[in-house]
Chain A
Amino acid sequence: MSTVATGRAGKVGLTAVLAAVLVGLSLLALTLGPYPMSAGDTVGVLWRRLTGAGAGDSVPEMVLFSIRLPRVVAALLVGAALGAAGACYQTLFRNPLVSPDILGVSAGAGLGAVLGIFLGLSVAGIQLAAFAGGLAAVTLVGFVAAAVRGRDTVLVLVLAGVVVGALAGAATSLLKVLADPYDQLPAITFWLLGSLSGVQTEDAASTLPVVLVGLVPLVLLRWRINVLSLGDEEAKSLGIEVGRLRLLVIGCATLITAAVVAIAGVVGWVGLVMPHIARMLVGPGFGVLLPASALLGAGYLLLVDTLARTIAAAEVPLGILTAVVGAPFFLWLLARGRRGWT
């Protein structure tokens, strides 16, 4: 067996360890909250539900299944989706400093949600508006890039993303000025900073299939996406239909991001930092980078969301905590200058 083959076995093992840590973290998060529950209680309640022995209406069961479990599942889902999408975008744009927001998906989703709040839509309506806004922004970027043919496609995409993002940001600011300052503005501000405080079981249930639909092609095409990171010309000469594959990867990563941003609001940092750490741990091969980024993203957001609901009497917005926790850690990583950067 070659050195690379043994390295690969190690990476798969590392991914398994990450998954195990994630299960432990999830159990821990389920025990934390204003209603005291020990780890034993939690496992007991879960076990009774799984075996069908639970009464279904005891207080611990209500707390666990109506409040904590949906939130933990949502945190895992949102974190995993942002981590996976970040890995896609970084590989696609051949740049470790790219985040899932690069093509304007968050800015578009933000505008959609703010418009929804402004128009007084229901929660589901706001989520749908955010999802549609995110997809619309990236589609617009795609059309702009297609219109400016003959130039470096990646560069045009990035610049178009900046432009569309800026326009969506301007429109969002306008709506904030026009919004009712006592009722709508706090809701808008809170949404733009990201939070899982309002997440219901149905939100997680409706988002999961969309995320899976986006993930499946990425997993299936992992080898080709790997080759794409060599750059357009080399990927073409190695037999990849670059334009088609890039469109597919952008479509899938955008779908995933828009779906979770719709229920969680704009949550920064996860999609930038987690793929970066994953690359340090398992290397740049997309086949292992994708699951590792998703697992790390899930763990990180679970950690941050658990902090968000336990460290203060009021909910702390996720966007604040992901940055406060993530930024110093990222700086420390950069200072160590380990592999994964270049």
Chain B
Amino acid sequence: MLAAATRAAQAVLDRPVPATIVVILLLALTTLGVAYVPRSIVLFIFFQASVLLLYLARVPIKWKAAIGAVTLAILIPVLGSINGYYLEIVTQVGIFAALALGLNIVVGLAGLLDLGYVAFFAVGAYSWAIFGSPQANQIFGGSTFPLAGGWFFVFLLVGVGVAAGAGILLGLPVLRLHGDYLAIVTLGFGEVIRVLANNLDKPINFTNGPKGITPIARPPIFFAPLLRAFGIEPNPNVIYPLYLYFLVLVIVGITILVNRRLEDSHIGRAWEAIREDQTAAQAMGVPLVRMKLMAFACGASFAGAVGVLFSAKQIFINPESFTFMESIGVLAMIILGGMGSIPGAILGATVVTVLNLQVLKGLSLWINELRNAGTMIFGLNLANLPTQLEPAKYERMVFGLILVLMMIFRPQGILPARRRHRELQGGDGN
């Protein structure tokens, strides 16, 4: 029964015309659903599932791009202005997707297990937080800071540079290590950065310690005159979430582009060769030191840029945002999605973030409602349910379970990396 249904669905989705129609219908339906019942998490997840279906179904590539663009540029912002929380979730998904794509280079392609990846995120975040807030006055004196919001865009590049530098700094001492040893050292590096952020408030106050830094400047609404020309009065509370969403979208777009170009080039192939067998790779002419440092720097630079954006989005940051669990979370995303796979990293980021922010929290709320209402199930009064039973508290356990199950049943990830197939030209026969 189920198998027959799956086969029928597969048959529809494999033919371009029916697939296109089905995907458009589903997207329209779920969009309407979310628009009319904005509080329904289930409907929003269905909406996300239709977006995934758009990617998986055999829709002609032009249509796919067009529908995808409409979804990202119109549907999500519209839904996001109906229920602001959804926009927040999508923005967070974007931030984590960019992080996952960066880590994907280091772990997925080059095979260097980095357990301290969030350190680079922190480096980027603090570089803008310090200069985009009055904090820098504590270091340099005077009152020149915060820098004007426009500097944010410069700092996106500064974040890239500083994080890449930190990546090389981490890379240099660990070059001789691989496997478990590398993992441990990178883990230590991640902790060192967090502890530094926590303690660099004396003797010179760089990071303001555990109290964190606030207020961090947001990028200026440079398009305000344009909005006014259309008769829209730019209200920061409405504009900023959308603005940041689009900024994240642009960064994720660039990240994907860079990832793809690196992956499908002699650089990406050298990274994969190192992952497969580094002795053989070196014997074939791949300079290990250079390529490994490049992998660390590239992966870190994405995290740096995203960190700058993150600090501007949050307005407030403290070391709590950059714990070891964050590194593990990003790693879980790429394991879940499929190591070395770009769509996998994005899907992994989506699944983990949505699971965290929506599914588990939603379940907790639901159980609480049932408990408060004293609903009876199978003669069991839910009012007597222990309060410890709250799915949101079991976030890590659910993650752990998912990862264990993945390793057993689908170790290659949900959307594993596919080998590129190419028609070769010339060189026939001997």
A interacts with B = no
